Structure 1
Amino acid sequence: ALLCCTPSFAGCTQPILLSLPVGSDPPTSCCFTYTAKKIPRNYIADFYETNSRCSQPGVVFTTKKGREICANPAEKWVQEYMDHFELN
C-alpha cells in the first residue's frame, strides 16, 4: 500500500513509503525519498531498516502517533537515533 504524503510535524512532509509483496515473503517496505529535516527524537517510538532488496537503503522511524517516516541511514543524526533505540 502506498502511503500518501501528509504533514507529520512542523511543516515537514512524510516521504513515500511503499510496501510490496515479494514472492512468498511478507511485504517489504522501501523508501524512495528521505525526510529533509531531522525528526525530534522525542517524537519517535521505534525504527526499522528497509529490506536489502529495496533500490536504496532506508531507515523508517515510527512516531508515537503511528506515522512512518523514511530517513537516510548515511546521515549522522539517523545513525545516532538508531544507536539510541538499540541501546534502550
Structure 2
Amino acid sequence: MSSLRPLNSALLFLQGSFAGCTQPILLSLPVGSDPPTSCCFTYTAKKIPRNYIADFYETNSRCSQPGVVFTTKKGREICANPAEKWVQEYMDHFELN
C-alpha cells in the first residue's frame, strides 16, 4: 500500500519547477469554496527591472506567507517579498499610474 494520501483540502497545480521556483503556485480549493488563488512560497532574490513589469497583485491572506506577484510584459509571474523596499516602491509606482 502506498504511503501517499490524497490531499483533502487543496490540490496543487505547480507553475515552473520545484527548486528555486519564484513563480506563484495556484491553490485550487474544494468545490463550493472561493475561486483559486495564487500563493508565494519563495521570493525572487533579485530586483526586477521596473520597465519589465506590466502589473502586480498581492496574494490572498489565506496563503502561508504574504507575497506580491509581479506580472512581466511577457506574461511571466514572479513572486516578491512585500517587506522589501524596492517591492513597496514598485507597488506605489503602479498604484499611482
Q: TM-score, normalised by structure 1?
A: 0.78
**Offset, 1:17:** 6.1
Q: Distance in 2 between matches of 1:58 and 1:22?
A: 25
Ranges of 4+ aligned residues in structure 1 off by more than 4 Å: 1-23
Gaps of 5+ in 1: none
User: Does the 8 Å contact 2:22/2:43 carry over to 1?
Assistant: no
**Offset, 1:26:** 1.0
Q: Distance in 2 between matches of 1:31 and 1:54?
A: 8
* Mean CA deviation greater in 57-66 or 11-20: 11-20
- Kindly provide the CA deviation profile for residues 62-87 of structure 1, in whole angstroms up to 9, marking residues without a partner as x: 00000000000000000000000000
Count residues with an aligned counterpart. 88
Residues 72 and 54 of structure 1: is their aligned pair in 2 closer, same or farther, counting only changes over 3 Å? same
Please give the root-mean-square deviation of Cα atoms over the aligned residues, in Å.
Answer: 4.0
Structure with the greater alpha carbon radius of gyration = 2
User: Does the 8 Å contact 1:8/1:67 carry over to 2?
Assistant: no
Residues 85 and 33 of structure 1: is their aligned pair in 2 closer, same or farther, counting only changes over 3 Å? same
The share of aligned pairs that are identical, in percent, is 95
User: Does the 8 Å contact 1:4/1:16 carry over to 2?
Assistant: yes
1:12 matched to 2:14? The reply is no
Q: Distance in 2 between matches of 1:2 and 1:35?
A: 24
Q: Distance in 2 between matches of 1:40 and 1:14?
A: 16
Q: TM-score, normalised by structure 2?
A: 0.71
Gaps of 5+ in 2: 1-9
